[in-house]
Amino acid sequence: MTVLSLHDVTFRRNGRLILDDISFEVAAGEHWALLGPNGAGKSTILSMCGASAHPTSGAVEVLGSRLGRVDLQELRRRIGHVNPRHPVRSPMTVEEVVLTGFTGTIDTPLRWEPTAAQLEAAHARIAQVGLAERRDAVWPTMSQGERGRALIARALAPEPRLLLLDEPTTGLDVAAREQLLETVDHLSVELPELASVLVTHHLEELPESTSHALLIGRGRIVASGPIHETVTTETVSRAFEHPIGVAHHDGRWSARALRAASVAPGR
């Protein structure tokens, strides 16, 4: 079943072409990486996936609904979004932050109370990301890694069919990054029908469960498809406009700069 589809999408801002002829489809259970350098258009694509931006031309369908023909607020409630820059400013607990996944707000709305089912679901997601013993921890006292896992629980609480992860390891040290990636990997086993799109420009930040990749450069597709066919020395070097050697070992990806003369097609 197709969860997300972009077809012949272009996007212009103030007359400037940001995206040009972007097409790809995400099916249930697939886990896509959206890769490319800063300014390539990754965030714009993710905004369309999250029903927060419309294309200038082309078609975007999310969870069977075409943007421009659907109630966006209702659609967004069915999409989980993990953003490490989530602006929690009040001293909320982990439980309270996760419960805002049901309301789609930053803070708990006035006079809103979760149902017993919502509270049970929040507790289950908190346990799923390994924070059961930190359920009452207050946001300002939490590590960046704990916050990242709490935001995953928040995104999953309403049982979305599509999960969007916007550079989820931003600001994490190595240990916290690995814990968060392990959490993401477990989702593919625990929620086999969940589809996801993860944005990054670091190959080392790809979870082992990543099944497909879309590489873009200067707003255009460089390569798209199953990750082992798509992420290669040649395609990554073209996307980033620099000779980059790509390697895959023990389920994880890595990249390093190469001398220009050593770049050849393939991995």
**pLDDT (tens digit, 0 to 9) for every residue of the chain, 267 residues total?**
999 999 999 999 998 999 999 999 999 999 999 999 999 999 999 999 999 999 999 999 999 999 988 888 888 888 999 988 888 888 899 999 999 999 888 888 888 899 999 999 999 999 999 999 999 999 999 998 999 999 999 999 999 999 999 999 988 899 989 999 999 999 999 999 999 999 998 999 999 999 999 999 999 999 999 999 999 999 999 999 999 999 999 999 999 999 754 445 555
Residue with tokens 């006079």: 111
**Cα–Cα distance measured from residue 203 to residue 37, given in angstroms and rounded to the nearest whole number:** 11
The pair of three-digit structure tokens given for residue 106, joined into one six-digit string: 């930053």
The pair of three-digit structure tokens given for residue 205, joined into one six-digit string: 């930040």
State the pTM of this model: 0.91
Please give the CATH number for the structural domain made up of 2-78+160-262: 3.40.50.300
pLDDT of residue 85: 84
Asked if residue 174 lies in contact with residue 162, where contact means CB atoms within 8 angstroms, the answer is: no
pLDDT of residue 265: 52
What residues does each domain of the chain span?
2-78+160-262, 89-158
**Cα–Cα distance measured from residue 235 to residue 246, given in angstroms and rounded to the nearest whole number:** 10
Write out the DSSP string of 28-54. TT-EEEEE--TTSSHHHHHHHHTTS--
pLDDT of residue 259: 75
The pair of three-digit structure tokens given for residue 242, joined into one six-digit string: 């620099």
CA nearest 126: which of 150, 102, 162? 150
Residue with tokens 């798209």: 224
